[in-house]
Structure 1
Amino acid sequence: MKKINILVPDLPESVSDATVVKWHKKIGERVNCNDNIVDIETDKVMLEVSSPCDGILKNILEEEGKIVKSQQIIGKIDQFNIIHNIKEDNLLNTKKNYENKEEKEKIESSFQNSEQHLTPSARRLIKINNINKSSLNKIIEIDDQINFKKIIKTEEEKINKNLLSNHDLDSHEDKEKENKRFENRVKMTRLRQRIAERLLDSKNNTAMLTTFNEVNMQPIILLRKKYGEDFEKKHGIRIGFMSFFVKAVVQGLKNFPEINAYIDKTDIVFYKNFDISIAVSTPKGLITPVLKNVDQMSLSEIEKKIKEFSIKGFQNKINIKELIGGNFTITNGGIFGSLISTPIINPPQTAILGMNMIQERPVVVNGKIKILPMMYIALSYDHRLIDGKESIGFLVNVKNILEDFTRILIDV
C-alpha cells in the first residue's frame, strides 16, 4: 500500500499563503490522475490542484477555509488496490456494527440489572421525580434514604439546568432564524479580502489626490470606423479603445518619468521599462494582469492580450506571474456605465488612470456649440511623489494624444 501526498503548488514570493476553498472529492472516493481534486485561492488567483495519481482519497488534512503554505501536505491518496480497499472497508463496517450491537446489549443488560437491584423506595422516588433512565447508571442501591434523596435532588438540578440551557439555545436559534429572514451571511473570498486590504492600505498610506479632464473621443471613433474592418481582417481581432489609451499612457510616462516611479522608504525608484496593469473584472472581483514591455507592442498585440486576460479572468485561470509587477494601472469603469469616478491607486504604484463612459454632450468649440462624444478621464496620484504640475501635465498629454493620435508619430 502506497500513500501519495497532495501538495499545495509552489506560490510566488509575493504570495505568502493560500486558502483551501473547496474539496471536490470526499474521503473514500475514487480519484483519477489529473482530476481537479481541490481548489486553493490566493489573494490574487484561484488554483486548481490536480490528483497526482489514480487511487482513493484517504485523508483530508486541511479542511475548507484553512490557511496553507507552499508545498504543504493537505491530503493523501491511497494507491492500494481499489477492490481490496472496498472489501477491507466493508469488513471494517461489519465489525464496527457487530461491536456497536454488542456494546448496546451490554448497556441494556446493565440498566436492567441496576433497576432490579434498586430498593422499592428508590424506585418510587425515581418514578415521582421522573429521573431519566440515563441517570440510573449513577444510582446504586443505598439503604440511607437521606443520601438517596440528595442524589435525586442533584439529578433534578442537572435536568433543570439542561432545560434552561436548551431554552437559551432555542432562543438563540430562533433569533438566528429571524435574522436569516432579512440577512444572507457569506464568507468573503480570499481575493475579495485581499482587495479590501489593499484598498484600505492605499487609502491610509498614500497622499492620494485626483485630477480630472475630458477627452473628445470623436477622432478615435472615426479612426476605428475608417480602419476597423481592415484591422480585424488582418489581425483577427477588433480594435477597441483600450489599446489607444495604453499607447497614450506610455507616451505620457516617457514625458513625465516621475509618474513611472515608486517610493522606497527615502528613495525614489524610476522604472526603465513600461509595464501597464489593466483592471479586469472577474466573478470573484477585480484583478490587474500586466502588459509587459507594452512600449514594444503593437495595437493588435495589445488588443489580443487584453482579450486573453478577459477570457482567462472570467474562467479564473489567470496565471500568478501575469499579475506580478506593473508600473501604472488603467481601469475602465465606463464599461459598467460610470460617467465620472475617482480610482484608487494600486500600491506600490503611484498613479492610476480611470476611463469612463462616452457620452454625447454639448461642447463649445471655437465659439460654437457642438454635440461631441466626450469622456471624462481621471488621474489619481500619490502627492508625496507627484506634484500637481506633473499630474495635470500628464493628463493633458494623454488627452492631446487621444484627440490627435498622430502626435505619437512625431513624439509631441
Structure 2
Amino acid sequence: MAEIKAPVFPESVADGTIVEWHVTEGQQVNRDDLLAEIETDKVVLEVVAPDNGVVTRIVKQVDDTVLSDELIAEFEAGASASAEAAPAVDPDQPAAPVQPKQETDGGEPVQASAESDHKDQSPAVRKAAKESGVDPKNVEGSGRGGRVTKTDMSNPTLKADSSITSDSGRPVAEAVGERTEKRVPMTRLRKTIANRLLAASQETAMLTTFNEVNMKPLMDMRTKYKDQFEKRHGTRLGFMSLFVKAATEALKRYPAVNASLDGDDIVYHGYYDIGVAVSSNRGLVVPVLRDTDRMSMADVEAKIREFGGKAQEGKLGLEDMVGGTFTISNGGVFGSLMSTPILNPPQTAILGMHAINDRPMAVNGEVKILPMMYLALSYDHRMIDGKEAVQFLVTLKELVEDPTMLLLDL
C-alpha cells in the first residue's frame, strides 16, 4: 500500500485546501492521471497518480485543510478496480441513476431512502455547483428530461420557488421573480489577494504620478516589422515586450525603483525580475520574467504568451510567481483609460499601462491627432522620492517614444 501526499509547499505557503477530488475510492487510475486539486494562497496544485493502480482510501475530503507533504489518500499500485467500484465517467455526461436497494423488515419489502441528492448530476455539474454555491436542484435544467447541464450552471436560471442555503444554513441565493442574490464564500486565492491589497494600501505611503506617451512611433515600428518578427522568432510582436525592455533600462538608471523594503533595511537588487499582472478565472496573478536585462524582445513575448496560457488553464506554478522586483499591469487590454495601480509588496513601485486612444495634441505649434496612452507609476514614498519617480517615468516615456534609443544605449 502506497501513500499519496500533498505536494511539498514552499516556506511562504503554510497550508492548502482540497478543492476537488477527480476520483472516488476504489477507482482504477493510470500513471499521472489527475487525482485531486489543492488550492493554496497563491496557486492551485495538482496531485497525480504515482503509478497504475487503485485509489483504496481517501483520507482528506473536499474543503479539508492539508499541510505540506501530508497524507491525503492511500493507493495500491498494480491493482485493478473491483466489480463494485464506480467506473470512470465522462465529466460532461450525466451519471447513471442509482437504483435504490430493497430491504426487508418483517418479510415485507421496503424501499431504501438512501437516494442521493446528486442523482443524475454529472461531475462537471457538481464541480460548478461547488464553485458557485448554487444547488443544481434549484436551477432550471435544459438537458434531456430537465437535467441540469454544465452550461446551465455557468449562467443559472433559478426556479421561482427556490431558496438556496449553504452548509451553515445561511442563504446562498434567493429568487424573487427575476431578482436574484447569490452568496458564495471567497476562495483562498481571492482572500489572499484581498488581504495583500488591503495591506499595501494601509502599510505603505503610496503615491501615483502620471505621464502620457505618444504610441505612434512604436505602432509604426510594429506595423513595419511584425510579419518579419513573427517569421523569424515564431511569436507575434506586441507592445508589452518593448515596455518591459524600456522599464528594465529605466530601472538600471534609477535603482531605488527596483529596490524593496525589508523592515528597516533597503534591499537594492542587482537583477531585474519584472512581474506581469495577468487576469485569470481564479483572480489576478503576477508571473515573473526573470533577468529581463538578458532577454530579447522575442524571449519576452514568448514568455508572456506562455504565462497567459498557463494562467487561463490554472497551470501557473509557485516557481512562476515568487520574487519579482518590479511589476507592470496593463489595464488597457480591458479598456481602462487611467488608474492608480496598487503596489505589490515588498516591491516599491508598479507601472500601469492603459488604453491607446486618438487625441488632439499640440506638436510644434500645430494640432495633430495622435494615439496616446496614459502611464501611471505608483510608488512607496518612504523609499522613493518624487523626483526619482518622475524622472523614471519620463525616461520610460522617452524610450517608448523613440525605440532606437534602446538599440543605441542612449
TM-score, normalized by length of structure 2? 0.76
Match of 1:217 in 2: 215
Task: State the match for 1:292 in structure 2.
Answer: 290
Q: Within 1, Cα distance between the matches of 2:66 and 2:170?
A: 35
Per the alignment, residue 309 of structure 2 pairs with 311
Q: Find out whether 1:283 has 2:281 as its counterpart.
A: yes
Deviation at 1:82, TM superposition (A): 3.8
Equivalent position amino acid for 2:238 in 1:
G
Q: Distance in 2 between matches of 1:177 and 1:303?
A: 43
Q: Which residue in 2 is equivalent to 1:236?
A: 234
Q: Which residue of 1 aligns with 2:174?
A: 179
Taking the aligned partners of 1:208 and 1:328, their CA distance within structure 2 comes to 15
Structure with larger Rg:
1
Q: Provide the secondary structure at the position in 1 that maps to 2:370.
A: strand
Q: 1:20, CA displacement in angstroms?
A: 0.7
Among residues 357, 360, 384, which one is paired with 1:359 in the alignment?
357
SS in 2 for 1:179: strand
Cα distance change on mapping 1:69 and 1:178 into 2, 3 Å: closer
Shift of 1:56: 3.1
CA distance in 2, matches of 1:341, 1:378: 7
5 Å-filtered alignment, 1:10-89, equals 10-79=8-77, 81-82=79-80, 85-86=82-83
What is the root-mean-square deviation in Å for CA atoms of aligned residues?
A: 2.5
Counterparts of 1:202 and 1:323 in 2: how far apart (Å)? 18
User: 1:255 offset after TM fit, Å?
Assistant: 0.9
Query: Relative to structure 1, is the Cα distance of residues 397 and 52 closer, same or farther in structure 2, using a 3 angstrom cutoff?
Result: same
> What letter corresponds to residue 386 of structure 1 in structure 2?
I
Choose from 390, 398, 402 the match for 2:396: 398
Q: Report what 1:336 is aligned to.
A: 334
Structure 2: how far apart are the matches of 1:402 and 1:79? 58
SS at match of 2:347: coil
Aligned partner of residue 311 in structure 2, secondary structure = helix
**CA deviation string 1:269-300 (max 9, x = no partner):** 10000110011111111111111110011111
Deviation at residue 59 of structure 1 after TM alignment:
2.0
Structure 2 residue corresponding to 1:324, chosen from 317, 322, 335: 322
Q: Name the SS for the 1:372 alignment partner.
A: strand
Q: Which residue of 1 aligns with 2:300?
A: 302
Shift of 1:81: 4.9
Alignment correspondent of 1:195: 193
1:74-133 CA-to-partner distances (Å, cap 9, x unmatched) read 1112458547x54899xxxxxxx99x85xx559xxxxxxxxxxxxxxxxxxxxxxxxxxx
More helix by share: 1
Q: Deviations over 1:1-56 (max 9, x none)?
A: xx221110121222221111101112233333321111111222221111223333
Residue deviations 1:172-229, cap 9 Å, x none?
A: x999498355222223222212111111111111111111111000010011111111
Pair 1:308–1:79, CA change in 2 (3 A): closer
Answer whether contact 2:172 2:182 (CA < 8 A) is retained: no
- Counterpart residue identity of residue 216, structure 1: N
Q: Is the 8 A contact 2:399 2:406 kept in 1?
A: yes
Query: Cα 1:66–1:352, aligned 2, differ >3 Å: closer, same or farther?
Result: same
Unmatched runs of 5 consecutive residues or more in structure 1:
90-96, 107-169
Richer in strand (by share): 2
Aligned to 1:258: 256
- Name the CA distance, whole Å, in 2 between partners of 1:294 and 1:258: 17
Q: Give the 3 Å change call, closer, same or farther, for CA 214–26 of structure 1 in structure 2.
A: same
How far apart are residue 301 of structure 1 and its match? Answer: 0.8
Partner of 1:5: 3
Identical columns (%): 49
Number of residues paired by the alignment?
A: 334
Alignment CA distance shift 1:174-1:35 (3 Å): closer
Q: Distance in 2 between matches of 1:261 and 1:269?
A: 5
Q: Is the 8 A contact 2:172 2:183 kept in 1?
A: no
Aligned amino acid, residue 290 of structure 1: V
Distance 1:174 1:53 in 2: 41
Query: Which consecutive unaligned segments of at least 5 residues does structure 2 have?
Result: 87-100, 108-164
For normalisation by structure 1, the TM-score amounts to 0.76
1:257 corresponds to which letter in structure 2? P
Alpha-carbon contact 2:52-2:78 (below 8 Å) kept: no
Higher relative contact order (CA 8 A, sep 6+): 1
- Asked whether the 8 Å contact 2:204–2:382 carries over to 1, the reply is yes
Distance 2:173 2:326 in 1: 48
